[in-house]
Amino acid sequence: MKYVVEKWNVFEISFTSENKYSNPFIDVKLKARFCHNGQKTCVQGFYDGDNIYKVRFMPQFEGEYTYTISSNDSELDGISGTLTVLPPSEQNHGPVRVSGTEHFAYADGTPFFVMGTTAYVWHHRPEEIRKKTLSSFSKYGFNKIRMLFFPKHYTGGYNAVDVSYEPPCYPFEGEPKNFDFTRPNPEYYRHFEQRLIELMELGIEADVILFHPYDFGHWDIDKMDEEDALLYLRYTINRLSAFRNVWWSLANEYDIGYDEDNPDRFILSQNRRNWDVIGEYIKANDPYGHLRSCHNITFGWIYPDRPWMTHVSYQHPDTYTLMVELKRDYKKPVINDEYQYEGNLPDGWGNSSGELTLLRHWLSVMAGGYASHGEAFIIDGNKRDIFWSYGGNMTGESAPRLKFMKDIVTKCPWQEMKRDFVNTDGQNYFSISKGTDFYLLFFKNGLKNKFCNIGPKEDPRTDYIYEATFYDVMNCRVIKSCRFRSHTDKIEITDWTAVTLKRIK
């Protein structure tokens, strides 16, 4: 049979075998080899329940492919066919990759500006709430979502929130505290995959967090041993890696655990799992090389550089100085994926003002990095339905301002811009520039009689002419657009202002 699929879309073929196995999830080996113009790609298949086996493939090239199935199952082995891959549609740019040393781009070369947010288990809520969540993502221009693969339980003790909804189904066969980790639940995966498709249709990347869902003894999913963890990874990679919008995050706060005698109590633990084994396993078994990172807790340890890491994902309220240091030390793209959430919780991680949230995100940009936002508001005493975990409608002040920021930055050649030390004091005013051809200035605090120095430094008398646009980043409006002459005009540093300058002469 001949199939047709779009480049970078999911190609899926299903097979049925009536052969019986003790555990088909691990007993049956299934592999497909796809060939195109002499180039071969091998992908692993998976068992989808009810005697159905599947192979998924994300083609990287247009044109004709052939495929051949090999398996230890006699009814599956030797199946072959052809596949025609069409050009990608307008909104399909392929998976996101590292671009250069500090940035990201889609596979077709389109630059990707990370505008992240957080909704850990939005995918487990009813359809009506999920639609509101997706609408919020889209409305405010978020294009990367941090989300857990496993369900989350986070309540009791000193926590001011109640993250205790049970998922519609569980990721493994069995019952809570007695799951069979060698038998994944295909229904759970199918539900998750549908959410990936919904995000993909909106042009949103899914930063899938593989471990540390905050179980705290409620389901005992966290007690999976290393052998079972690798089985879980194998099955998950085989099912999800063909979705172009998937990123892999090894853990949410890899460096914490909890005291089994007192499950409400956090403890620091760098070695709860062998994270290097997990990272190397993902790198070796993901045929498409999706992005990989490992996220830390604020007072823990930012994960050391490793060959399997494609970028740095860190948590800390410092989005400028630490960002600059990490970029220098790792020589990889850096995302502050948790700089504390805008919200009204009594806990410090969830009570930042909208103004502080906006500042931290702007500073990540001015450091040449990226960041992820989040909201943690208790509304009318409801400690459960908080966007940071369950999604819904965003209500904070920062989201529309961050969209305005994104609109400004993505009109700049930001991947070619570096910190401009002449116009940066690291506290009140900041600048990045592409030489003297393009500037992006951000002012937090106004300084009387303080002006920026734009244009050639070797001969300040040389008069460059720029198209300048001044933005009020708090009220999301353009203040003015004008011509700017570097030798005669001045830019005063005023509160909450951004300025772009594009040289025209």
Q: Which two tokens stand for residue 322?
A: 């630490």
- CA 371 to each of CA 116, 341, 344, 451: distance values in angstroms, whole numbers, following the listed order: 6, 12, 21, 29
Q: In this structure, are residues 170 and 181 in contact, taking their beta carbons and an 8 Å threshold?
A: no
Residue 267 domain flag = yes
At 133, the pLDDT band (50, 70, 90 cuts) reads: very high
> What pLDDT, on a 0 to 100 scale, did the predictor assign at position 21?
98
Residues 6+ apart with CB under 8 A from 237: 44, 282, 285, 286
Question: Residue 264 pLDDT > 70, yes or no?
Answer: no
192 shares a domain with 125: yes
Separation between Cα atoms, residue 464 and residue 456, nearest integer Å: 8
Average pLDDT of the segment spanning 95-101: 98
> What pLDDT, on a 0 to 100 scale, did the predictor assign at position 229?
97
Residues 6+ apart with CB under 8 A from 304: none
Q: In this structure, are residues 418 and 398 in contact, taking their beta carbons and an 8 Å threshold?
A: no
Residue 91 domain flag = no
> What pLDDT, on a 0 to 100 scale, did the predictor assign at position 459?
73
The enclosing domain of 212 has a CATH number of 3.20.20.80
144 shares a domain with 82: no
> What pLDDT, on a 0 to 100 scale, did the predictor assign at position 27?
98
pLDDT tens by residue, 22-70: 999 999 999 999 999 999 999 999 999 999 999 999 999 999 999 999 9
At 158, the pLDDT band (50, 70, 90 cuts) reads: low
Name beta bridge partners: 379.
382
> What pLDDT, on a 0 to 100 scale, did the predictor assign at position 256?
84
Residues 6+ apart with CB under 8 A from 292: 247, 248, 249, 250, 279, 282, 283, 308, 309, 310, 311
Residue 143 domain flag = yes
Which of helix, strand or coil describes residue 277? Answer: helix
Name beta bridge partners: 470.
480, 499
The enclosing domain of 451 has a CATH number of 2.60.40
Question: Burial, 422: exposed, middle or buried (Cβ in 10 Å; 0-12, 13-18, 19+)?
Answer: exposed
Average pLDDT of the segment spanning 221-243: 97
Q: Who has greater pLDDT, 217 or 269?
A: 217
Question: Residue 181 pLDDT > 90, yes or no?
Answer: yes
102 shares a domain with 188: yes
102 shares a domain with 78: no
Annotate 17-56 with b (16+ C-beta within 10 A) or e (fewer): beeeeeebbeebebbbebebeeeebebbbbbbeeeebbbb
Q: Which two tokens stand for residue 5?
A: 């699929």
294 shares a domain with 403: yes
Tally of CA atoms within 13 A in the half-sphere of 388 that contains its CB: 27
Residue 365 domain flag = yes
The enclosing domain of 39 has a CATH number of 2.60.40.10
Average pLDDT of the segment spanning 61-88: 98
Average pLDDT of the segment spanning 468-477: 99
Report the predicted TM-score, pTM, of the whole model to 2 decimal places: 0.96
Domain boundary among 410, 431, 460: 410
What percent of the chain has a predicted confidence (pLDDT) above 90?
Answer: 90
At 487, the pLDDT band (50, 70, 90 cuts) reads: confident
186 shares a domain with 80: no
- CA 171 to each of CA 122, 166, 188, 211: distance values in angstroms, whole numbers, following the listed order: 16, 12, 5, 13
Question: Residue 186 pLDDT > 70, yes or no?
Answer: yes
Question: Residue 451 pLDDT > 60, yes or no?
Answer: yes
| Least confident range of 74-88, 180-194, 455-469 | 455-469
When divided into structural domains, the chain yields a total of 3
65 shares a domain with 23: yes
Q: In this structure, are residues 204 and 215 in contact, taking their beta carbons and an 8 Å threshold?
A: no
At 237, the pLDDT band (50, 70, 90 cuts) reads: very high
Q: Report the amino acid identity of residue 426.
A: G
Residue 181 domain flag = yes
pLDDT tens by residue, 431-442: 999 999 999 999
78 shares a domain with 104: no
Domain boundary among 86, 109, 142: 86
Handedness of CA 375, 376, 379, 383 (dihedral sign): positive
158 shares a domain with 71: no
425 shares a domain with 399: no
59 shares a domain with 10: yes
Backbone angles phi and psi of 369, in degrees to 5: -120, -160
Average pLDDT of the segment spanning 175-179: 96
> What pLDDT, on a 0 to 100 scale, did the predictor assign at position 157?
56
Residue 268 domain flag = yes
Q: Which of 95, 96, 100, 97 is nearest to 327 (CA)?
A: 100
pLDDT, averaged across the chain: 95
pLDDT tens by residue, 280-313: 999 999 999 999 999 999 988 999 999 999 999 9
Residue 366 domain flag = yes
Residue 400 domain flag = yes
Which of helix, strand or coil describes residue 260? Answer: coil
Handedness of CA 338, 127, 112, 432 (dihedral sign): negative
Average pLDDT of the segment spanning 398-422: 98
> What pLDDT, on a 0 to 100 scale, did the predictor assign at position 160?
87
Domain boundary among 364, 383, 410: 410
> What pLDDT, on a 0 to 100 scale, did the predictor assign at position 260?
66
> What pLDDT, on a 0 to 100 scale, did the predictor assign at position 34?
98
119 shares a domain with 190: yes
Question: Residue 257 pLDDT > 80, yes or no?
Answer: no
Question: Residue 241 pLDDT > 70, yes or no?
Answer: yes
State which residues form the domain around 112.
96-410
Question: Residue 233 pLDDT > 80, yes or no?
Answer: yes
